[in-house]
Amino acid sequence: MSDNVENIDDSNYDNDLATGEKAEKNSKVRKRIDDLMEKKRLKELLDDSDDWDL
């Protein structure tokens, strides 16, 4: 995978970025993924907590 990083042409980076509706959709998808990952992280913290013993 590190080989792929070395072959990236920085001068064309902006041209490879999505624009318009695709960029908006990508942004919404990323936000949804981030929200789900945060929810999972918080759930794991709560599940691992011993504070819930009655």
pLDDT of 10 reads: 67
Express each pLDDT in 1-54 by its tens digit.
455 556 666 667 667 777 888 889 999 999 999 999 999 999 988 887 666 555
Are 23 and 17 within 8 A, CB to CB?
yes
pLDDT of 20 reads: 87
Q: What are the tokens at 40?
A: 């999972």
